[in-house]
Chain A
Amino acid sequence: MRGVRDILVKEVKETFRNPRYLIFTILFPLLIYPIMGYMFGFSFSAAQETISKGTVLVVDLDKSSFSHLLTDYLKESGLNVIESDPNSLNNTEYLIAIIIPKGFSESILNGSQPVLKSRVNVGSISFMTMGIVSIPQSILEGFKKYIGSEILIENNIDPRIIYDPFRIDTLVYVREWGRLVPQPQLSMYIMNIYIWPWILFGLIISILQISTVFLSEEKEQKTLEILLTLPIDRKAIILGKILGSSIVAISATASYIVGFVLYIVLGSTFFSMVDGFTEILNTPLHAIILMSILFFLELLFTASLGLGIAVFAQDTKAAESLAGSFAMPLMLLILAGSILDLESLPLIVKYIYYAIPYSYMIKAFEHMLLNDYSYFIFGSVITIIWLIIMLFIVSKIFSSEKLLTMRVRLWKRRRGVKE
């Protein structure tokens, strides 16, 4: 169709040359997520380094076999241990102080549970504090197990009988999936399944805003009238704008996803989710393609919806706030789809839910992992129907004079109120 390419190129050039768009939509996610990930990762590594360099005071008031065992254990853990007296606790130069109470060994052996006090000395509260505080705690927890094992070995008892008498293999049967899933794997699935709809939510709201702005900017810059008198089909203008906003939105998503992955990778010492991403990479290609088709159709529908909304907006600010008003209902839809058990809902509610094109993105990731292709085909068909309806409405508006006169009518009404 003549003119589509020219409109598309114009929209893309206009957007990518706009510093506001570049900063907030492309650069912001590309920078802010990796910086956050780096901060998390760095704070954890820095905490480890601080502990390895810092002084650990051990005030041994017991001088018994177990208290010596603890001191040796701390030294073997790589800590810079200094044995000291109680007066040294007034000195604030230490990082960690461990006070072994009098009768420590005896109390352990008679089962009266002595209290091993530890003090951590931090300058201020930061991300790094979490690491500094948790590391000595986990070392002492490790010592508990160690000492228990030592006692058991001395009494010719295998420590595994006490600490790990049997293994647990939990399988979860998901009725909707019709199969058993190992519990750790399910946790990873749930983590990913519920993250992705929110990423897409951000994308849909941004494409809605971009497409409304594409039209409202024509009104604001006073370029719309010339555009509408050009010798091209009005459908070419609509299609050019829809494709333009989709390309812009896809680039924004790519930047968002790259930023998000970098966030996970750079913060990997802090997160245990990287394995989940490896699992995702093992998904069959055709499942990813089907899911991508569904998402692309949903993006096209969003862009056409944005154009429809923009008809009512007099300027860019009004367009952005109109598009923003869709955030809340979409958020509720995602929450409902994520939290509710759809199978238990009344039939009519279920029909309404599945008649909304955005419903399909909520569980798309889950169905991709299940290789449930009919879900994507059905979702794509529903979205295509909505897309056709929306395009029909938008093309009707574009071929009428409403696009130009809507503002006149609104203005007249307002003037009427004043009078």
Chain B
Amino acid sequence: MYAVEVKDLVKYYGSFMALKGITFHVDEGDIYGLIGPNGAGKSTTLRILATLLKPSSGVARIFGYDVDKDADRVRRIISYLPEEAGGYKYLTGFEYLSMNAKMYDPENFREYVEYGIEISGLGDRIYDRIGSYSKGMIRRLLLARALMMKPRLAILDEPTAGMDVVHATVIRDIIKNVAREDVTILLSSHNMLEVHYLCNKISLINEGRIVASGSPSEIIDSVNASNLEEAFVRLVRG
């Protein structure tokens, strides 16, 4: 069974066709990357998989559950980090993690929170209000929220968006470490270097279509490019 199975997925926003029948699958334990420029359809794909949007046609399954028909079951085994996300400014980081963990497991939430605090690396600042956090601290908190329950699938939309090099490196290390604990990760990025570093498999997406899939080195070799960025440009330009 695939962790994620997407087949002929189409999504319309009114008359605009955002996804034009994409197909890919993610194996359990993978760190899978969706790469593409802004507006390519990465976030729409991830939002459909996170049960936020309904597919116009096609199939999207997570561990065999249909994201449309079995949305409640899907939500129990995934966690989602949107590209643009914030926290509740009047709650402390600790309260935020506790609230989220309780919704997954009201009995054993404490151990998840402890793990979340460890992942976030916020130390004692975890007891401060989120309103006092920097952008980087909020992103680390949100990532900790997404990963602390060790979901079967973590969907991370641009996990290092808007972060400086140091913070981005910390977040990449967190993702790598969590993936070792049987968590399948599906992430999107337009940062080719990041994807090359993190992912064992990727799909290149452009204008709502998958233009290539495989391991980063397979894709680079397929077009005789020297790096992923160059490969992407060649594939997009045909």
Answer yes or no: B163 CB below 8 A from chain A CBs. no
Say yes or no: B106 contacts A13, CB within 8 Å.
no
Contact of B90 among A2, A13, A228 (CB under 8 A): A13
Residue of A10, A222, A400 near B99 (CB, 8 A) is: A10
Q: Evaluate contact between A2 and B88: CB separation under 8 angstroms.
A: no
Within 8 A of A (CB), among B90-125: 90-91, 95, 99-100, 102-104, 106
Give bound CA distance, A9 to B50, whole Å: 25
Question: Does A275 sit at the interface, judged by CB under 8 A?
Answer: no
Partner of B79, one of A2, A229, A400, A408: A229
Q: Is B173 an interface residue (CB 8 A)?
A: no
Q: Is B165 an interface residue (CB 8 A)?
A: no
B72/A223 in contact, CB under 8 A: no
Whether A404 lies near B53 (C-beta < 8 A) is yes
**B residues 116-139 in Cβ contact with A at 8 Å:** 129
B106's contact among A2, A229, A404, A408, by CB below 8 Å, is which?
A2
**Contact call A230/B75, Cβ cutoff below 8 A:** yes
B14 touches A231 (CB 8 A): no
Residue of B nearest to A222 (CB): B86
B142 sits at the interface (CB 8 A): yes
> Is A157 in contact with chain B by the CB < 8 A criterion?
no
CB distance from B122 to the nearest CB of A (A): 18
**A17 contacts B90, CB within 8 Å?**
yes
A203–chain B nearest beta-carbon distance, Å? 23
Q: Which residues of A contact B54 (CB under 8 A)?
A: 400-401
Known: A229-B75, A233-B72. A223 touches B53 (CB 8 A): no
B89 contacts chain A at the CB level, 8 A cutoff: yes
> A-B contact count, CB below 8 Å?
81
- CB–CB A231/B103 < 8 A: yes
A294 to chain B, nearest CB (A): 33
Verify if B85 is at the interface (C-beta below 8 Å from A).
yes
Distance, CA A61 to CA B103, complexed state (A): 91
22 residue pairs from A and B, CB less than 8 Å apart: A3-B103, A13-B95, A14-B90, A17-B90, A18-B90, A221-B86, A221-B88, A222-B82, A222-B84, A225-B47, A226-B82, A228-B51, A229-B50, A229-B80, A230-B100, A231-B76, A231-B104, A232-B75, A404-B52, A405-B13, A405-B53, A412-B16
- Given pairs A228-B51, A230-B103, 17 additional interface contacts (CB within 8 A): A6-B102, A6-B103, A10-B99, A221-B87, A221-B89, A222-B85, A226-B80, A226-B85, A226-B142, A226-B145, A229-B80, A230-B104, A232-B103, A233-B72, A400-B54, A412-B13, A412-B16
